[in-house]
Amino acid sequence: MIMLGTDGPVLGTAWRVAFEREQVIFQNVAPLVLGSPASDKLHAWQMSQYRKLVVLDSDVLVLRSIEDLFDTKEDFVVAHHPYDLVQAQCGIPLRRRAVGALYAIRPNEEDFQGLCKELELYRRNKWHFQHYGEQTCLACYFKNRSRTLPCSYLFDLSNPTTSTCSPGAAPMTCMRKHLQNCVKWSRASMSKFCILTPREQCDGLAGAAVCTLVSHHLQEHCAWTNIAADARAVHYKGRIKPWPVGNRKRNNNWMCQPLETGALRVLSSDGSRSLLALDDDLHWNATQRRCLSVQRGFAVQWAEQKQGFIVARKCCHFETIMSAWWHELLGGARELP
Amino acid sequence: MGIDKPVIAPELSVSRQLAEVSATTRYLPVAGLSALPRCDVRTAYVGLLTIHDSDLNTTFLASELARSARSNPDAARSHIRKQLQLLLVLVRSVRRVETATL
């Protein structure tokens, strides 16, 4: 495993040891576009001594093997962004739109140079480049020789088919909100993100009809309940990150802090405690005032038995499963300075 | 020893970036990356630890770090620590599935 870094912090010994224990090789690189850290990922195309590389963002968590990515034949195999609108500008259909958090590439200098040149087109629209970095550039550059993975390969924790918008939200609540917001704002957003000239060419790429299509696509192909069993990785996209406190998205949610003690457990009817499956979901039972496993129906507990059951509705949330698992893997490293 | 004071790449304003659009992009010297060791089949993943003085609307992590670096070095160190934690957990999650099943 290779980690690229720009002129960043000098790692202390403890961190360096922790990474070296996982056989990580560090390699410093110069910033490619100052002010755009995401663009540094293009450096991977220069590592042509490797036949195939898998590029992962740091906010991805792998759940099942992703080794099949090394057997792919296409030049660019990328995870799916099921509700992106801006890639329509280069004619990419919804089911093929890409998210830059996970992809497999065939490193070569020609594509590196081509991508750097292509990137300059996207830098011309400051608003677009700030929000999407190199993502649209990658999707558009490779559109004729890429393959987009199914939603299940990298599940986006911001996916509105879950209760991501509001902990404990009833099924479809977030989906409805997403659709409403899309209908309300997508035309104005698309206008700001437009890279086409004249700008009017972007007018038909957003609006109610487009948003309805996106909504159907999400429900049909990307609902967690349908694809969880096939999920290879999850993505703490945007403001969703695995720490409960200090995460502004979660409003300093101290009640959920026990998730930092590790993976969630379920209490079975025979009194035994077992790990909650990662492809499960959580459901709030208002009568019992307990958070239940959707798959098993049992009450869910925090990792440490003394912390007991999840009794706060705002913690009874799909994201909590993955965040608690993230902390399980972090383990003792949480103490590193 | 903890994390040293973060060294942030000097800010390049968007207007300057735009002025440079037609200029030559600063490419990395190839030698640095090509010198990396060859690997066994299926062992090369790439992670990133990149810290720029970003505009505040780039990725969430980069924006948070840039915002805190401008106001409070301790907060910046705390953000870098979180990024290192993310990277370590990512690596561990990959290592785990190489030897185990869900």
For residue A110, the SS3 value is helix
Cis bond leading into A198, ω under 30°? yes
Structural domain tally of chain A?
2
Q: Is A17 exposed, middle or buried (0-12, 13-18, 19+ CB in 10 A)?
A: exposed
Q: CB-based contact (8 Å) between A21 and chain B?
A: no
Distance from C-alpha of A146 to C-alpha of B98, rounded to nearest angstrom: 26
For residue A337, the SS3 value is coil
Mean pLDDT of B37-43: 59
Res. B31: pLDDT tops 50 = no
Give me the residues of B, 53-82, that contact A with CB < 8 A.
53-55, 57-62, 77, 80-82
Distance from C-alpha of A181 to C-alpha of A238, rounded to nearest angstrom: 17
Closest CA to A155 of A248, A93, A218: A218
Q: Which residue of A has its CA nearest to B51?
A: A8
Closest CA to A36 of A135, A167, A184, A150: A135
Q: Which pLDDT value is given to residue A305?
A: 86
DSSP A26-75: EEE---SSTT-GGGGGGGGGG-TTSS-EEEE-TTEEE-S--GGGGG--SS
- The complex's ipTM works out to 0.89
| b/e sequence A233-261, b meaning 16+ C-beta within 10 Å | bbbbbeebbbbbeebeebeebebbebbbb
Closest CA to A29 of B73, B37, B9, B20: B9
Closest CA to A121 of A92, A89, A99: A89
pLDDT tens-place values along chain A, 337 residues long: 666 665 555 567 888 888 888 888 777 777 777 777 788 888 889 888 888 999 999 899 999 999 999 999 999 999 999 999 989 999 999 999 999 999 999 999 999 999 998 888 888 787 778 778 789 999 999 999 999 999 999 999 888 887 677 766 666 888 888 888 888 888 888 888 888 877 778 888 888 899 999 999 998 999 888 898 899 999 998 778 887 654 555 554 678 889 889 999 998 888 888 999 998 888 888 898 889 998 888 999 999 988 889 888 888 878 889 999 999 999 988 888 8
Distance from C-alpha of A164 to C-alpha of A157, rounded to nearest angstrom: 7
Closest CA to B13 of B52, B74, B55, B50: B55
Q: Which pLDDT value is given to residue A123?
A: 81
A163/A206 same-domain check: yes
A141/A253 same-domain check: no
For residue A153, the SS3 value is coil
Tokens of A318: 């799909």
A51/A189 same-domain check: yes
Please indicate, yes or no, if residue A334 is contained in any of the structural domains: no
A134/A155 same-domain check: yes
A30/B26 Cβ within 8 A: yes
Residues of chain A with Cβ-Cβ distance to B101 below 8 Å are 64
A146/A193 same-domain check: yes
Strand A290-293, strand A282-285: pairing: antiparallel
Please indicate, yes or no, if residue A4 is contained in any of the structural domains: no
A57/A128 same-domain check: yes
A9/B51 Cβ within 8 A: yes
Minimum mean pLDDT range among A21-35, A36-50, B41-55, B74-88: B41-55
Q: Where among A235, A257, A288 does a domain terminate?
A: A235
Please indicate, yes or no, if residue A22 is contained in any of the structural domains: no
pTM of the model: 0.83
Distance from C-alpha of A133 to C-alpha of A127, rounded to nearest angstrom: 10
A231/A265 same-domain check: no
Residue contacts between A and B (CB atoms, under 8 Å) = 258
A273/A311 same-domain check: yes
Q: Which pLDDT value is given to residue B100?
A: 65
DSSP A182-228: HHHHHHHHHHHH--SSSGGGGGGGSSHHHHHHHHHHHHHH--HHHHG
A195/A162 same-domain check: yes
Residues of chain A with Cβ-Cβ distance to B44 below 8 Å are 1-2, 47, 50, 52-54
Residues of chain B with Cβ-Cβ distance to A54 below 8 Å are 44-46
Res. B7: pLDDT tops 70 = no
A219/A158 same-domain check: yes
A222/A280 same-domain check: no
A130: nearest CB among B57, B82, B98:
B57
Structural domain of residue A130, as residue ranges?
Answer: 31-235
Residues of chain B with Cβ-Cβ distance to A64 below 8 Å are 97, 101-102
Please indicate, yes or no, if residue A336 is contained in any of the structural domains: no
Q: Where among A235, A263, A295 does a domain terminate?
A: A235
Q: Where among A181, A202, A235 does a domain terminate?
A: A235
A137/A279 same-domain check: no
